[in-house]
Amino acid sequence: MPAVEDVFRGAWPVVVAATVRLTRDLDLAEDCAQEAVERALRTWPATPPENGTGWLTTTARRIALDRLRRDTVLQRKLPLLVEPAGDDGDPAPTDPLRLVFTCAHPALARASQVALTLRLVCGVDVAAIAAVLLTGEAAVARRITRAKQKIAAARIPFRVPPDDELPARLDAVLTVVHLAYTAGHVTVRGPLRDARLTGRATELARLLVGLLPDEPEPQALLALVLLTEARGPTRTDPDGDLVLLPAQDRSRWDRALIREGLARATTAVRHPRRGRFAWQAAVAGLHAVAPSWAETDWAQIVTTYDALLASWPSPVVALNRAAARSQVPGADLEAVLREIDALAPDLAGYPYLPAARADVLARLGRTDEAAAAYGVALVLTTNPVERRYLARRQAELVA
């Protein structure tokens, strides 16, 4: 039922987080949330109740209470330590953020933090998480299970940590929120983007700014997602086909989001404790202010990527820098191609590397090699919208 699915996707983190406050058990909370959705499928009419999120939350908590009353061995479980609700257990505005901090606890490996956050906070399925992490579905499922077990065994609190613990936790939380946004920006299957998922990540970024208003990196992360969201509607044409940045109608970009994003990015970049998200936001800002693709300040973008690489060495950043350098007037494309090829061992399985390689090869006039590179990118790409674009580019070169 589409109505149930729409409400479910928007309500998932609220329902799970509110139920965790009652159960003190991640597995039980997730099971109860899923059962509430199953009941909705059986009982809702063609349109959901006026407050579908409230219905699902109440139902999930009632299911949990029934299970807790029946479970005589509850006390033998290793529970999550939670802050008392202090009320009747209704969802609190900070519940999703508490759940993010729980999932991103430093006791967990980074890949486990990401997998658990995407599953519990964002409702992303295992296949999509596997695509984000460039790994297999079975490995993701194991990571999620082990992370839940470790949270229970280590008695990790379900709460936003106190001020003295925030610095050690912040980078992990920023990373998982950004990857949640990335998972919605290009989905594994279906349409190009999942606006609910990108919207959820944006809301979490705003909550982080509210929690830490003087920290530059939450500001920078929010700036980055706002500047990226501003281009959202122009990334596909009326037929649903991919439109890359050079061909997008910039008059349709959301100017309000761009203004807010630029203001936040400027604040973050000027801060003495600026970090990787500040430089990423700066790159997005340079694209946002360019009147056209041809008038983009590519030299400044390359310089900004240099600063990003200095603060956060990453093969993906190096690939993006090489792609930007290829656009600088008079660039040595052969040298750029060598840079891209040198990154191949670190980015095996990353579809944007052969796609970038194909673009440079095509501009060098090496069309057969470019077509072959697009074929490699096709094999590695899962999103059908991106696959159609790559197949079209390959066909054009072959023709």
55: pLDDT strictly greater than 90: no
Residue 242 in 3-state DSSP?
strand
CA 218/CA 215 separation, integer angstroms: 6
CA 218/CA 83 separation, integer angstroms: 24
Place of tokens 């929010």: 222
- Residue of higher predicted confidence among 41 and 334: 334
CA 136/CA 150 separation, integer angstroms: 21
Residue 97's H or E segment, with its range, is helix 95-103
φ/ψ of residue 35, rounded to 5? -65, -35
Report H helices in 186-215: 195-211
Res. 258 pLDDT band, cuts 50 70 90: very high
Residue-range domain boundaries for the chain:
1-75, 94-194, 214-241+248-313, 325-399
Q: How many CB atoms lie within 10 A of CB 203?
A: 15
Architecture, CATH, for domain 325-399: Alpha Horseshoe (1.25)
3-state helix, strand, coil in the chain (%, to 5): 70, 0, 30
* pLDDT for position 49: 77
* pLDDT for position 82: 43
349: pLDDT strictly greater than 90: no
* pLDDT for position 22: 74
Res. 321 pLDDT band, cuts 50 70 90: very high
Whats the size of the chain, residue-wise? 399
Res. 9 pLDDT band, cuts 50 70 90: low
φ/ψ of residue 331, rounded to 5? -65, 145
What one-character-per-residue DSSP string does 247-275 give? GS-GGGS-HHHHHHHHHHHHHHHHSTT--
Q: pLDDT for 148-183, tens place per residue?
A: 888 877 777 777 777 777 777 888 889 889 988 998
Beta-ladder partners of 82 = 158
φ/ψ of residue 158, rounded to 5? -90, 85
* Measured distance between the N- and C-terminal CA atoms of the chain, rounded to whole angstroms: 44
Q: How many CB atoms lie within 10 A of CB 348?
A: 10
CA 20/CA 32 separation, integer angstroms: 10
What type of residue is 35? E
216 to 66, 201, 223, 281, 314: CA distances (angstroms): 45, 18, 10, 11, 21
Top-tier CATH class for 1-75: mainly alpha
With 0-12 CB in 10 A as exposed, 13-18 as middle and 19+ as buried, what is 55? buried
CA 176/CA 74 separation, integer angstroms: 31
* pLDDT for position 10: 63
76: pLDDT strictly greater than 70: no
Most confident of 34-43, 106-115, 189-198, 373-382: 373-382
Q: pLDDT for 226-256, tens place per residue?
A: 999 999 999 999 999 999 999 999 999 999 9
* pLDDT for position 18: 78
* pLDDT for position 3: 55
